[in-house]
Amino acid sequence: MTATVLVINSGSSSIKYQLVDPEGGQALASGLVERIGEAEGHIEHKAGGQVTERYERVSDHGEGLRQVLALFEEVGPDLAEAGIVAVGHRVVMGGSAYDGPVRIDDDVLGVIEELSPLAPLHNPANLTGIQVGRMLLPDVPHVAVFDTAFFRNLPDDAATYALDREVAEKFSVRRYGAHGTSHQYVSAKAAEMLGRDDLKQIVLHLGNGASASAVVGGRAVDTSMGLTPLEGLVMGTRTGDIDAAVVFHLARNGGMSVDEIDNLFNKRSGLKGLTGENDLREVHRLIDAGDENARVGLGVYTHRLRKYIGSYAAVMGGLDVLSFTAGVGENDDVVRAGAVKGLEFLGVEIDLEKNQVRSKEPRVISPDGARVTVMVIPTNEELAIARQAMSLL
């Protein structure tokens, strides 16, 4: 019998899940519960090529997960027969506490709760998912896999903000990063494919949220997200890097409250703020229709990518591999071409034909013999979480 892991990613009003065979890498089932707590919720369960959908009220996370387990019983696969050996929970903020997966007990729950002020939208939701998960599946170990773990041991030079030490310490202000599970998975995949463990790599995780990392010999040495996922690259709706004094300016002269500025920077900025659309497919459509704001928006997006590639090559003193991943990175050849434009001096080039190939497989898109291997590597955070959970058993 195969051993499987149920991976749970619990958000403030949603639960995403996947039943994964960590060895073979397949998902045996997947689905999501959304609009938890609203008048009508939505549940979608995919298994064996079949999609089951329900529209009904889901009062809370406990009810949501109960419904999911009922669907596993009704339409399969049967969890016991599928050999479930663990539940892996995605947790966004592990702070300075965790640099790898951890088996969940009451102490771990306490730490995740203590870290909630650093990720107020995510950790409480993750915690709820864990609590109901443990209640409903008490006979298997539950493991927390943190988005920040891969960046826990960044060198001090990269992790420390140039801020008054006392204030920084008192309020735990440092660079924690995010998307770590994806950066770790993609950089490990590139190393495996190239058969080398001494590589200097840059990973660009470009989804609706976006982040860059610099990885030397499997260890993260820098990353673009900071105390929160707001810093760094231009994202679907987030500013990325911005002069902190913009906050003072908007508060003093724009009469905006801290919450309003938080909402502006996180939800109404990035591509959305620049072009009116956060989805790059829409941005391209606007550009094709001659929209000048969309053209500039894409320019700001790719300019930031080139800046990070250049600075991370400098941080590492060289570059062997540049990988693109996530929704934009895996699908958007125009963004990939824009990100490397003019970087031939660093040895970064892409082959136009290879770049246009559409595929779900990891692949090289640089020309044969190029100094830097440029790759597209589909990320698989669920599989990475399942494997990390298994590693503790």
Residues that bind ligand AMP (CB under 6 A): 207-208, 236, 278-281, 326-328, 331-332
Bridge partners, 144 (sequence order): 89, 102
Question: Considering beta carbons, is residue 131 or 331 the nearer one to ligand AMP?
Answer: 331
Q: CB of 101 within 8 A of CB of 391?
A: yes
What is the rounded distance in angstroms from the CA atom of residue 117 to the CA atom of residue 171?
10
- Measured CA to CA, the distance from residue 312 to residue 214 in angstroms comes to 6
Nearer residue to ligand AMP within complex by CB, 67 or 184:
184
Closer residue to ligand AMP in complex, CB, 132/204: 204
Residue type, 186: V
Residue 116: DSSP 8-state: G
With CB atoms as reference, the residue minimizing the distance to ligand AMP is 327
Q: 200 pairs with which residues across the strands?
A: 216
The SS3 assignment for 30 reads strand
Work out the number of other CB atoms within 10 angstroms of the CB of residue 357.
12
Helix (H, G, I), strand (E, B) or coil at 269: coil
Closest approach of Cβ 269 to ligand AMP, in Å? 15
**Contact of 27 with 19, CB cutoff 8 Å:** yes
In whole angstroms, give the CA distance from residue 270 to residue 237: 4
Q: Which residue lies nearer to ligand AMP by CB, 4 or 379?
A: 379
Task: Yes or no: say if 335 and 204 are a contact pair by the CB < 8 Å rule.
Answer: no
Is residue 147 part of the annotated active site? The answer reads yes
| Catalytic-role residue among 147, 222, 320, 332 | 147
**Tell me, what amino acid is at 139?**
D
Q: How far is the CB of 16 from ligand AMP (least distance, A)?
A: 11
Q: In the bound complex, what is the minimum distance in angstroms from residue 46's beta carbon to ligand AMP?
A: 16
Nearer Cβ to ligand AMP (207/338): 207
Pairwise CA distance, residues 152 & 161, whole Å: 15
**Least CB distance to ligand AMP at residue 282 (A):** 8
> Which of 57, 50, 55 minimizes the C-alpha distance to 74?
50
Q: Is the Cβ–Cβ distance between 52 and 44 less than 8 Å?
A: yes
What is the identity of the amino acid at 229? P
For the bound state, the minimum distance from the C-beta of residue 229 to ligand AMP, rounded and expressed in Å, comes to 12
Output 4 or 224, the one with its CB closest to ligand AMP: 224
Q: Which runs of E-coded beta strand occur in 289-385? A: 321-325, 363-364, 373-376
Contacts of 124 (CB under 8 A, 6+ apart): 12, 113, 116
Closest to ligand AMP by CB, 64 vs 327, is 327
Residues with active-site annotation: 147
